[in-house]
Structure 1
């Protein structure tokens, strides 16, 4: 029904506006008695064989929703009814911010992709915490952390620590988002010396809590082998809990969209089918070169069960969807989990 009726209708409208409309629609329908149960019966699969134990956490199934969809943690309870094993909220910054000027979200329909330059638009830390206090405990929640756009370079770590300390009681794991191409001072966030400083500071803060939470690093799909070797060294040096591979890409190679269309869109991070192979390559390289020394969450271009299996076979322990969820609808989650069961 989604691909035949809803998607063609949704795709007639501006992507950002329809995103907010979809949120309202899901919230409204989920308040109707019996509807959440109907969603679960259609989309959710409960099977112990799908469970995955990582970072000291038990995931109901390995299919998660990537950060960026539920930035402000307003819909995770309702989205849980679609069968996700975990949901990552954010990116959260200490202060609310508008993000980049609109228009900033674009569909590449022929490529089954999206280009965004949202710029960490979110309602800020306190708003996220207020929403997370409503957690009904249906599934694991990750917190994706970033810095405010106006923050000076010497204060970057402070921004991450502010979010980490405040969100610690409310999320199950953390992601340091240092690879989004839509924020300023991207270079510093990818500098190994700075990453050592940032990770060390967050790990030190983690030890002040009675129960420590897993910390992961989200990396770009555009890294070359030398840069990936540095990531492997960084993980070994810091004993970080894992990696999310990968974020959006700045590469425009091989797209069906015309040069004129791409020029009209301008800069931004590319997600969806066009980055599938790129993200899978990063996963495979990290897994093989490190001899599976750390867990990997695979994300990027998952639009089918086969795409998901490809990520898992490359070395991912869990996967996340985002653009695939928009193009293929909630049935994709069930299709992936059924395929995983069939392979087990």
Structure 2
């Protein structure tokens, strides 16, 4: 059960609500986010929720059977839209496009990518400065200095930044230089990291784990929401299966299922989802037609020379074509 409290609720009224809930043998957890205050009540006893709804200080009350209550669509009719500022949204009904290199390499690369995005009307740039790599000898990013350089160039062009945070200690130093914290597939169940990201007033995009279920992804989002952050985005990026013909298996099924289960925006990552450059475009288009709120993919001026993931990275010509086709697919979908 989720109880949304009035913004002007008094302390005595809140205490009376909690006391009444506990008298029904329900456990209560208070959640204060950027947008509202909630009480999450867990219990098995059946009762008429009108007994609570009549109490002073309650704005709304809902029964939610899902264990992931706050991110469940069962209590929130309208879908969540994440506002990144300056007219940039994810989940507002338009298709959000996020593109950039796997790794931020140098100032020239960043500027060329920004120029490419601006030319094509894309407002969000992805890129890694802290890179989790399977091999300890692979390029692992430029770190915070690279992020500061990127931020300076991006701000001049009106571009928003999404970048991966790998550990709790990086949150504070990255905070002023990113618009969206990305939680990578390897950290989807790093609950200490999720808890801390729940305490910041920045958007968070959580990628599905390498072998994670849809339910586990929703539980991860619940950690962030319960800790106080409603600015959440979910990302289907492909899962590890027995199939060896592609890097991963992009679960297109997950997109409509997530849209049915949660009010949060859902985006897809076709670059990691299939891992083969020539197939990124059809997979991205399939994700849009499945209902994705956004697409995040990798592009580089010279993929063959990219520091990482060149085999799945589009060059700028391929990227421009993909952007046009994504926009056409989104328009077509809304005409149905």
Q: TM-score range by the shorter chain?
A: 0.5 to 0.7
Report if aligned partners of 1:67, 1:144 keep a CA contact under 8 Å in 2.
Answer: no
Corresponding residue of 2:102? 68
Number of equivalences: 224
Mark the CA change 1:122 to 1:196 in structure 2 (over 3 Å): closer, same or farther. closer
2:243 counterpart of 1:243? no
Corresponding residue of 1:124? 143
Show structure 2 runs of 5+ residues with no match: 1-80, 89-93, 299-311
Match of 1:88 among 116, 125, 130: 125
User: Counterpart of 2:198 in 1: which secondary structure?
Assistant: helix
Q: Deviations over 1:82-102 (max 9, x none)?
A: 525234343234xx9999455
Corresponding residue of 1:296? 266
| 1:275 shift after superposition | 2.5
Corresponding residue of 1:216? 205
TM-score, scaled relative to structure 2: 0.54
Mark the CA change 1:228 to 1:127 in structure 2 (over 3 Å): closer, same or farther. closer
Corresponding residue of 1:283? 255
TM-score, scaled relative to structure 1: 0.53
Mark the CA change 1:79 to 1:248 in structure 2 (over 3 Å): closer, same or farther. farther
Report if aligned partners of 1:145, 1:164 keep a CA contact under 8 Å in 2.
Answer: no
Separation (CA, whole Å) in 2 of partners of 1:285 and 1:71: 37
Within 5 A, what are the aligned runs for 1:109-188? 121-135=140-154, 137-147=156-166, 156-165=167-176, 167=177, 171=178, 173-180=179-186
Show structure 1 runs of 5+ residues with no match: 1-52, 105-117, 148-155, 181-185, 207-212, 258-269
Separation (CA, whole Å) in 1 of partners of 2:317 and 2:148: 30
- Give the number of the structure whose residues are more often helix, by fraction: 1
2:296 counterpart of 1:320? yes
Mark the CA change 1:237 to 1:100 in structure 2 (over 3 Å): closer, same or farther. same
Q: Deviations over 1:211-231 (max 9, x none)?
A: xx4333333253124413413
Corresponding residue of 1:199? 197
Report if aligned partners of 2:255, 2:266 keep a CA contact under 8 Å in 1.
Answer: yes
| 1:158 shift after superposition | 1.8
Corresponding residue of 1:255? 244
Separation (CA, whole Å) in 1 of partners of 2:284 and 2:290: 10
Mark the CA change 1:283 to 1:231 in structure 2 (over 3 Å): closer, same or farther. farther
Report if aligned partners of 2:82, 2:231 keep a CA contact under 8 Å in 1.
Answer: no
Corresponding residue of 1:308? 284
Mark the CA change 1:178 to 1:80 in structure 2 (over 3 Å): closer, same or farther. closer
User: Counterpart of 1:92 in 2: which secondary structure?
Assistant: coil
Q: Deviations over 1:57-99 (max 9, x none)?
A: 4349632215625466624322215525234343234xx9999
| 1:139 shift after superposition | 4.8
C-alpha RMSD of matched pairs (Å): 3.7
